[in-house]
Amino acid sequence: MTLSDLNHHDLVRVLPIWQGQIDMRPLVGGMTNRNYLVTDARKKAVVRIGEDIPVHGIVRFNELAASRAAAAAGLSPRVLFAQPGVLVLEYIAGRSFDASDIRVERDRCVALVKRAHRELALHLRGPTLAFNVFHIHRDYAHTLREGHSRLISELPRFLSATDILEKAVGSIELVFGHNDLLAANFIDDGSRLWLIDWEYGGWNTPFFDLAGLSSNSDLSPAETDALLESYFEVPANDRMRYQFDALVCASLLREAMWSMVCEIHSDLNCDFVAYTRENLQRFEKAWTRFQAWSGR
């Protein structure tokens, strides 16, 4: 029996952290877990229910280690309780960002990401994972071949692009990154920002988080330069832009291939075919822009 087979209300109700009766309400979002807002006599908490998902490289011990370290660094809500398949976090009353908020609050978001890159690793305990987007592409390609993906004929082209992008990025600085910087993972409580959802946390180049922040929020080239300058505290140069554009392509291709795998393996009621199409269109646009570098 898996967690998905269980009644989540019964599972949550018996957790040994509640005071009195609980009120449990589902939260929207969560494509790799189920999230609930739970209120008891003394507190509100967010309960995340999800098992390991090997085809997506999600291993919950790593998410727990990253969540605890991010909380210790003052970046994320406290971990109140954890057991296999269940993570309970302090509830933060606030507003989740959307893409327009990232554009307006770009410098605050960059400052928080930079703090995460500098400080989270100081609080990590135990083994943790790397997040190598190029390995992920190749592993997804194996999974898609084995699952007879409807887009199997496209895989050689995707893998060729992966080789080119990996060479373009070259040697990297390693930081412990978030690696899934959707706008909704920033919460503004009215006085400060919080960064949530560490299930893809892992060692990576800081450019990957910056590329994800930009591409997920549709930043313009001028806004991207400002983002890079805010993070690195020097004027943006062509080498920065080249690495950055390569990782924008890589992050978009990873998202498209993630969706292709979900077409085969996910039981969520979601139109993954449409999501794959959307992200492949975004990748093709970014890939065309990146290829223009070779003509310079």
What the block records as the tokens of 31 is: 């494509």
pLDDT digits (tens, 9 = 90+) for 51-97: 999 999 999 999 999 999 999 999 999 999 999 999 999 999 999 99
Do residues 188 and 159 lie in contact, with contact meaning Cβ atoms separated by under 8 Å? no
- For the chain, the domain total comes to 2
Instruction: Tell whether 185 and 61 lie within a shared domain.
Output: no
pLDDT of residue 220 exceeding 80? yes
Question: Model's pTM, two decimal places?
Answer: 0.93
pLDDT digits (tens, 9 = 90+) for 52-62: 999 999 999 99
What the block records as the tokens of 51 is: 């098992």
Q: 28: domain CATH number?
A: 3.30.200.20
- Provide the residue range defining the domain that includes 78: 3-90
**Which amino acid, residue 186?**
F
Last residue of a domain, one of 74, 90, 106: 90
Dihedral of the CA atoms 239, 241, 247, 249 (nearest 10)? -130
Last residue of a domain, one of 90, 105, 120: 90
Name the pLDDT band for 4 (thresholds 50, 70, 90).
low
Q: 135: domain CATH number?
A: 3.90.1200.10
Q: Report the pLDDT averaged over residues 238-243.
A: 93
pLDDT of residue 113 exceeding 50? yes
Instruction: Tell whether 32 and 113 lie within a shared domain.
Output: no
pLDDT digits (tens, 9 = 90+) for 168-189: 999 999 999 999 999 999 999 9
**Among 115, 104, 111, 108, which residue's Cα sits nearest to residue 219?**
104
Instruction: Tell whether 101 and 73 lie within a shared domain.
Output: no
pLDDT at 2: 53
